[in-house]
Amino acid sequence: MSEGRYNTSELLICTASRLMPDKTTVFVGTGIPMLAGSLAQKMHAPDLVAIFEFGGTGAILEELPIAVGGQRTFHRAVSASGLLEIIETAQRGFVDYGFLGGAQIDPYGNLNSTVIGDHAKPKARLPGSGGGNDVGSHCWRTIAIMRHDTRRFVEQVDFITTPGYLTGPGAREAAGLPVDTGPYRVVTTLAVLGYEEESKRMMLLETQPGVSVDEVVENTGFELVIPDDVGENPPPSDEELRILRDEVDRNRLYI
């Protein structure tokens, strides 16, 4: 799949970067979303407003932050506040996109980053919510970034850390979550996925380079919506890889 030019992390970073439009607000976290935001600013979205959980809003990502609370998340920012102010910003409807990860995801985009197994006696405890619930509840569009296999793409998550479309059409609104918010895309090592408008179930949009539709289906633990026309996501360009390696993560902290 790498074609020898790029690795899996670089593929995910470049794919996620393309989903960040210019002149929008994006809630980013440590790791791939952070690198994707920096790459987007340098490639096609110079006026992208990156928002970090611990208070940095609108930082220019010239140097890659170590974490979401690092000093570089405030570099030339338009605002330096705190955790509560950032979460309130999302609650007030000012954050367009939120990037998330998780150990499990189900057909309706519900994410689990809390436990594997029964909550009272789990097989494994995971890092937990952090801002995952707030991002998934209040950002207009959320994008999950995950490795793609049947352990992660499951019929029912063991615990809902981050609400997606819950049980289907109308469930988010019935739970009191803002209208017209919710999951937008899932970026994986095998595909780019979205959600069918009527059923709110996950739908295959594009395969990653060199990946077949059958491979995506085989590695998904539930029935995907498969449209008649499934595209192929373009591989990382030479320019994307150059900027990512030489400018965004030149010290190879992540890639």
What residue segments make up the domains of the chain, in order of their start?
Answer: 8-248
pLDDT score of 59: 86
- Is 232 among the residues known to form the active site? no
pLDDT score of 2: 46
Given the residues 10, 53, 206, 240, the one annotated as active site: 53
- Alpha-carbon span 38 to 45, nearest angstrom: 9
Q: In which region does residue 36 sit, left (phi positive, over 0), alpha (psi from -120 to 50) or beta (all else)?
A: alpha
pLDDT score of 1: 44
Cβ partners under 8 Å of residue 97, min gap 6: 19, 20, 24, 25, 26, 27, 139, 140, 141, 142, 143, 184
Average pLDDT over residues 15-42: 93
pLDDT at 66 over 50: yes
Most confident among 66-75, 82-91, 196-205 (mean pLDDT): 196-205
* Alpha helices per DSSP H over the chain: 8-18, 32-43, 83-91, 132-138, 171-174, 213-218, 238-243
Per-residue pLDDT tens digits for 147-166: 999 999 999 999 999 999 99
Average pLDDT over residues 80-108: 93
For the chain, the first-to-last Cα distance in angstroms comes to 16
* pTM across the whole model: 0.93
The CATH homologous superfamily to which domain 8-248 belongs is Glutaconate Coenzyme A-transferase (3.40.1080.10)
CB 7 within 8 A of CB 30: no
Per-residue pLDDT tens digits for 177-234: 999 999 999 999 999 999 999 999 999 999 999 999 999 999 999 999 999 999 999 9
